Amino acid sequence: MKKYVNHCFTIGRMRLILFLTAVILVVFFRAGALPAADKTIHVVPVTGTVEPGMAAFIKRSVDEILAAEPDALIVFKLDSFGGRVDAALDIVETVSDIPQGQSISYVEKRAISAGALIALAGNVLVMKHNTLIGDCAPIIQTSEGQKEMGEKTQTVLRAQFRSLAKKNNYPEVLAESMVTKSMEVYQLVMDGETVYMDNVEFNDLTEAEKSRITQKKTVVAEGELLTMDDVEAHDLDFSKASVADLDQALAYLGYENYTLNVMIETWSERFVRFLQPLLPILMLVGLGALYTEIKAPGFGVFGVVGILCLALVFLNQYLVGLANYTELLLLLIGTLLIAAEVLVLPGFGMAGIAGILVLSAGLVLSFQGFVLPDPELPWEGRLMIRNLALVVGSFAGALVISLVMVRYVLPGVSKVIKGPYLNTTLGEALVGSDQASFVAVGQTGTAVTALRPSGKVRIGSRKIDAITQGEFLDSGTPVRVTSLAQNHVTVRAAQPEDSGKERS
């Protein structure tokens, strides 16, 4: 009996071992049979304002992806209200250069204005639920508010929309209606097929052709711009599908086994985009600080601040591809000419004027990707005018800032910093110089040069050296002698009440 029990126990244990072995083998082979991701899909975010920084990021991303994987699939994930026309066209060019069938536009939230132009550059368009696309009217900011740009600009953009629609099989006339309010677009059913026509093309139909129309519907009314939600975009043959997320969009397009590689901006690209709206302020502060440094003695904090601000402006534009060594050379030449005019040459003449012009040209060119505007691209002319106004305004603002700094800030700083100053260390000294022998305390005159704090003044008919007590005075400022000590003539700015105190 005991042998029988042991025999049964042995058989049961063997069966258990065999069962567990079978389970392990099944799990192992099933795990081994799971397919690895057979494709990497690259995602490039198109988020925020369309500007040169975004264009540089997208170009860098596309170039890196295609260099490593020429047949890569790239998804552009859009969430943008639009921005600069020139930057949008640069992005469109980058996207259009991707081989056919390798780009997908996925609208995650909205693709408005320039964002819509970028979205149509992709070979395929898919939109998330409750998203928008359209309304690409070119506008400019004026003193009276926002206004639409003229027909010349709209013509160029219409041609761009038609080209993208033709390339990627979107309805051409509907794409054009995103730009032009004067278009009225109909959806027609002719001979059982759905077609789209604007009012001009419809009016040109013969009576025989119109008789073949079984249904007519106004899709875009005159005076409006085409703007579609995800459902309308699908119904009007733009979007392939309305989906819940990117994974569902890719599944609809037939991609099931993949990994996503999301491109991320580098720290320098993020820094560039952060600085973009601050460039006018940086340029204003930089020019003002440099002018203040030129008017002040020595080299100090204002020179460092000015150089740093202008360097940030140039570096920003260089990184986004708008500035190069030509602009840098112009900036250096302009700065040297102005410095030579102020520090070496008397007065202010040709060198100073040439320096301002060269410096202005370098700054203007660093804000645009062209030298002279193309007549066929009207926004380039407007962009150049805007850049000229920005630079001229910065020069004017810098002049005001520097005058305020020199007149009010620097003298106060000099009084805060401990001396020694002449009024405390030489007050009891005597005059023994020939040039001061004919000068008396209380006499008035005029500053011949800037006093920073030393310079030359004219007392009577003679020009002599003089100093101030920490006060900075510009050339031509009326002065009054306050003390004579240790071969120095000390003066201050003359006040109106000093006119009656002059001593002969």
Same-domain pairing of 2 and 139: no
Answer with the one of 216, 237, 265 that is the final residue of a domain.
265
Same domain, 337 and 464: no
Position 216 in a domain: no
Between CA 181 and CA 232 the distance in angstroms is: 19
Residues 299 and 407 in one domain: yes
Q: 26 in a domain, yes or no?
A: yes
* Distant-in-sequence, close-in-space partners of 171: CB < 8 Å, separation ≥ 6: 165, 196, 236, 237, 238
Tell whether 368 and 255 lie within a shared domain.
no
**Contacts (Cβ under 8 Å, ≥6 apart) of 452:** 295, 296, 297, 472
* DSSP type of residue 365: H
Same domain, 441 and 489: yes
Token pair, residue 183, equals: 């278009």
Q: If residue 45 lies in a helix (H) or strand (E), which one and from where to where?
A: strand 40-47
Check whether residue 250 and residue 280 sit in a common domain. no
453: cis peptide before it, omega within 30°? yes
Q: Say if residue 91 is in the same domain as residue 167.
A: yes
Q: Report how far residue 94's alpha carbon sits from residue 116's, in angstroms, rounded to the nearest whole number.
A: 15
Residue 190 domain flag? no
Domain assignment present for 198: no
Out of 416, 440, 471, pick the residue that ends a domain.
416
Q: Is 396 a domain residue?
A: yes
My answer on whether 318 and 398 are in the same domain is: yes
| Under 8 Å between Cβ of 134 and 118 | no
Residues 65 and 86 in one domain: yes
Q: Which domain holds residue 325?
A: 275-416
Give, for all 504 residues of the chain, the pLDDT tens digit.
444 444 444 555 555 455 555 544 444 334 333 344 578 999 999 999 898 889 989 999 999 999 999 999 999 999 999 888 888 989 999 999 999 989 999 999 999 989 999 999 999 999 999 999 998 877 665 556 566 666 667 787 888 899 999 999 999 999 998 988 888 999 999 888 889 999 888 889 888 888 898 899 999 998 888 999 999 999 999 999 999 999 999 999 999 889 999 999 888 778 877 877 777 888 888 877 777 776 665 556 777 887 788 888 877 777 766 566 777 788 788 878 777 766 666 555 677 778 778 888 888 877 776 667 767 666 667 777 877 888 888 778 877 777 777 666 666 555 555 555 444 444 433 344 445 566 788 888 888 888 877 888 888 878 888 888 878 888 888 988 888 876 678 888 887 766 655 443
Both 327 and 443 in a single domain?
no
The separation between the first and the last C-alpha atoms of the chain, rounded to the nearest angstrom, is 147
**H or E stretch covering 47:** strand 40-47
Domain boundary among 416, 450, 482: 416
Amino acid identity for residue 428 in this structure:
E
Residue 205 lies in a domain: no
| CATH number of the domain residue 484 falls in | 2.40.50.140
DSSP conformation letters of 282-340: HHHHHHHHHHHHHHSSS--HHHHHHHHHHHHHHHHHHHTTS--HHHHHHHHHHHHHHHH
Domain count, the chain: 4
Is the torsion defined by CA of 438, 444, 450, 451 positive or negative? Answer: positive
Asked if residue 126 is part of any domain, the answer here is: yes
In the DSSP assignment, the letter for residue 188 is: E
Can you give the pLDDT at residue 32?
A: 38
Classify residue 439: in a domain, yes or no: yes
Buried b (16+ CB within 10 A) or exposed e, 336-372: ebbbebbeeeeeeeebbeebeebbbbbbbbbbbbeee
Tokens of 342: 């102020």
Question: Could you tell me the CATH number of the domain that includes residue 152?
Answer: 3.90.226.10
Q: How many helices (H) and strands (E) does the chain have?
A: 18, 18
Is 326 in the same domain as 445? no
Q: Clarify whether residues 155 and 68 are in a common domain.
A: yes
